Structure 1
Amino acid sequence: MASGNPEETYQFEPMHESYQNREARLRVMDEQGLDQTIIYPGGWALVAEEYVKGVEPLYANYHSFNRYMNEVWGFNHQGRIYAPALLSLRDLPSAVKELEYVLEQGARFILLPTGPVYGRSPGDPYFDPFWKLVNDAKASVCYHISEFYYNSQVAPSWGYDPNPIHFRMSAWQWQNTYGQRPVEETLSALIFDNLFGRFPDINVLVSEFGSEWVPHFVRHMDKSRGMGRNGPWVGGQLDERPSQVFRKHVRVVPYPEDDIVNVVKRLGYHESIVMGSDFPHAEGLANPADFRKLIAELGESAQDDIMYNNAQQLITR
């Protein structure tokens, strides 16, 4: 909660038809003036990587869920609703097989968990058969805040519950094991491992991690590249600064409570920022178009890009 008030509580509301039915969602989108949406699943769908043990059960779950999402929402429904397909790199042959399936079904977005891949970086050339398929399809990879690795493997070293209920998770875990650290480590791995140098048609969309970490993160990557110049580069040395790779290939959805104008000013550009809303969650706006008010200090062209063009480019490539 942005207020920082420990007494602030969550309040549930009844499920709306538009949360469960794509035709109802399209009607709401029309009312709100929304052209297209990338719509994520919620709840347990995002945590299979953490809790489903074994290769066959995991990919069976993912295949079943992907069939459901495509049938009920659509990987590409009328060119307006785009549901990401869920995938894992736990087992490369299984990942490639499921990726081939969802791409054949029209998936434009592939949702992966943040974090390491069982002793490897996700940018390791070992996974290039997977990444080549993504690249050839000009699909985009999505990262959404979820439970994997960091609470179970990192939090206990600091004395915290490895399997906390989210409503009772510590402030330290919200900041470090369920906040920006997982996505920072994942993105820096992809960039430092030269994934985008090998596969220049891959883009990344980062949702529900906020954006205020981005300016420091990209500058820190540039410094770290210099400090590590004599270290290992498993995907080959970079041809340009990590910050420039980020600018070209990564899009980030801010929280409404972020100082988005300041983020853009510190970055010096706005191409990496895209509008989003997670309503009725706390980090969402009931009327997504109100996001424009949060960036009113920016020029009209920048507002249009953040509200529409930056995300639309991910769809129409």
Structure 2
Amino acid sequence: METTQFPLIISVDDHTVEPATVWRDRLPRKYLDVGPRIVRAPVKEMTFLGGRFRPVMGEPGSTDGPVGDWWVYGDLRRPLTRLDTAVGYARDEVKLEVITYEQMRPGSYDVSARLADMDVNHVQSAVCFPTFPRFCGQTFAEAADKELALLCVRAYNDWMVEEWCGPKARGRLIPLPLIPLWDAELAAAEVRRNAARGARAVAFSEIPPHLGLPSVHGDEWDPFLAACDETGTVVAMHIGSSSRMPSTSADAPPAVGSTITFANCCFSMVDWLMSGKFERFPNLKVMYAEGQIGWIPYILERADVVWEENRGWGGVADKVTRPPSELFAEHVYGCFFDDAFGLRSLDSIGVGNVLYETDYPHSDSTWPKSREVGERQMGHLPADVVERIVRGNAIELLGLTKDGLWRGAE
């Protein structure tokens, strides 16, 4: 494949670092002192071991330690870190350290700068997961004041739809709202509210019980799933959206978890395939961001064997009436940015079930060489297959224009 032929990328997994004013500008005045806000302060201690991130904030105004910008919300103290926005730095310079907004690439939080960085990276359009709310809004689900938390979710979604994906983005940024995870009826209402203004995806947890929430095997999530089924809203699950990155031990270094990041996606997909939800909600679609795809063929093979041979005693005979691999083909999408093995296994996964991503601005991101990475990995594939993987499947799944842009509320 010649360089000039590589399609413009639609990335289904990038990230935004929320500007400091998102909640300050949108919450009622009485909540301004308790809602999410930025405080500049030093770090006293910060570790990331066993899949757990543990930062300790120093006294605001002090210079006793490296100084960074921290989100303060209730009892939560969460710093901006170099891992939130690593693009533009050499790999060996990307360390677990606090930073300020001035120390990050502007494309992390500014729409115009983001579009410019997308141009450099051969990216036309992008779906962006959150940072401070965490990948599916766990920050607000954990908050004690649920009235304020609901306002925070709605404020984020208003910012996402109206500003981040607003007129300045020219259809190139695709909204990904959050839901109030603690209440499925409120979640359904938020899905419908955002679908009415053109949103066609919503962030959700890969393994809700890790957050103290119901699993997908019961009926507690049915109001939410019914709203997604009704509106054509894709359930998007990012690695880490259960607030528990895969690891092996409390003292395992981050490299262990980084190697097995796909594991939660693997467990989650089996949950969904064996839940019966895809048969109850036939229009439901789910996608796994940053989970890669090379692991999928064996899991489908194993799931089919279990369903065929063990469903009588396996607890699924009355709700899963078709082979899991068939359900996968109709309802599940794997997302990757650097998975040569997965691409060699494409016949076992399905060309129509694969989406491309760049992970800007994280340390794993292929920016600014996503085009070169894609060409290297997909050079053996026919042009029409590359077109589907890099943009065609995303256009169909997310209801974009034929040119790959977000439609907004038509």
| Length-normalised TM-score, structure 1 | 0.80
Aligned to 2:319: 237
Supply the distance in 2 between the matched residues of 1:297 and 1:308 (Cα, whole angstroms).
18
Are 2:337 and 2:356, in contact at CA under 8 Å, matched by a contact in 1? Answer: no
**Is residue 221 of structure 2 the alignment partner of residue 127 of structure 1?**
yes
Partner of 1:71: 162
Alignment root-mean-square deviation, CA: 3.1
How far apart in 1 are the matches of 2:333 and 2:135?
20
Residue 218 (structure 1) aligned with residue 309 (structure 2): no
Structure 1 counterpart of 2:174: 82
Structure 2 match to 1:274: 355
- Equivalent residue for 2:369, pick from 265, 275, 287: 287
Task: Give yes or no for contact 2:262–2:290 (8 Å, CA) kept in 1.
Answer: no
In structure 2, the partner of 1:253 is 335
1:209 aligns with 2:287: no
Per mean C-alpha deviation after superposition, the further-off stretch among 123-132 and 40-49 is 40-49
* Alpha-carbon distance in 2 for matches of 1:288, 1:170: 23
State the shift of 1:111 in Å. 0.5
Q: What's 1:310 paired with?
A: 393
Q: CA deviation at 1:224?
A: 2.3
How far the C-alpha of 1:30 sits from its partner, in A, is 4.5
2:233 corresponding residue in structure 1:
139
Separation in 2, partners of 1:237, 1:69: 37
**Which residue pairs with 1:160 in the alignment?**
250
Residue by residue, what CA displacement relative to the aligned partner does 1:60-83 show, whole Å, maximum 9, x if unpaired?
432232222223312895433112
> How far is the alpha carbon of 1:201 from its aligned partner?
1.5
Does the 8 Å contact 2:294/2:343 carry over to 1? Answer: no
Question: Given that residues 292 and 303 in structure 1 are in contact (C-alpha distance below 8 angstroms), is that contact kept between their aligned partners in structure 2?
Answer: no
Amino acid at match of 1:134: C
Against the structure 1 CA distance between its residues 134 and 48, is the aligned structure 2 distance closer, same or farther, given a 3 Å change threshold? closer
Equivalent residue letter for 1:160: A
1:34 aligns to what?
Answer: 123
Of 107, 114, 131, the residue aligned with 2:199 is 107
What residue in structure 1 maps to residue 189 of structure 2? 97
Do structure 1's residue 169 and structure 2's residue 258 form an aligned pair? no
TM-aligned CA distance change 1:252 to 1:268, over 3 Å: closer
Residue aligned with 2:215, SS: coil
Distance 1:60 1:268, change over 3 A: closer
How far does the alpha carbon of each residue in 1:48-67 deviate from its partner, in whole angstroms, 9 at most, with x for none? 42682447154343223222
Q: Which deviates further from its counterpart, 70-79 or 270-279?
A: 70-79
CA distance in 1, matches of 2:369, 2:319: 44
Say if 2:296 and 2:349, in contact at 8 Å, map to a contact too: no
Cα drift, residue 306 of structure 1: 0.8
Unpaired runs of 5+ residues, structure 1, are: 1-7
Task: Go from structure 1 to structure 2 and tell me whether the alpha carbon gap of 1:122 and 1:24 turns closer, same or farther (over 3 Å shift).
Answer: same
Once the 2 structures are TM-superposed, how far is the Cα of residue 257 of structure 1 from its aligned partner? 4.8
How far apart, in 2, do the equivalents of 1:223 and 1:288 lie?
A: 37
Deviations 1:130-164 (A, max 9, x none): 1111111111111112253546xx97xx7526xx9
Aligned match of 1:4: none
Structure 2 unmatched ranges of 5 or more: 1-90, 96-101, 401-410
Q: Decide whether the 8 Å contact of 1:75 with 1:107 is kept in 2.
A: no
Normalising by the residue count of structure 2, what TM-score does the alignment of the two structures yield?
A: 0.63
For 2:172, give the aligned amino acid.
R
**2 CA distance for matches of 1:110 and 1:147?**
12
Please say if residues 122 and 186 of structure 1, whose CA atoms lie closer than 8 Å, have aligned partners that are also in contact. Answer: no
- Partners of 1:310 and 1:43 lie apart in 2 by 29
Seen in structure 2, the aligned counterparts of structure 1 residues 239 and 67 have a Cα distance that, compared at 3 Å, is: same
Q: Deviations over 1:74-118 (max 9, x none)?
A: 289543311211225432233223323322332211001111344
- In structure 2, the CA distance between the partners of 1:148 and 1:300, relative to structure 1 (3 Å rule), is same
Shift of 1:205: 1.8
Matching residue of 1:301: 384
Which structure would you say has the larger Rg? 2
Letter aligned with residue 169 of structure 1: P
Distance 1:26 1:222, change over 3 A: same
Cα deviations by residue, 1:247-276 (Å, 9 ceiling, x for unpaired): 2221111241542332314x1632211221
User: Which structure shows the higher helix fraction?
Assistant: 1
Task: Call closer, same or farther: CA 1:69–1:27 in 2, change over 3 Å.
Answer: same
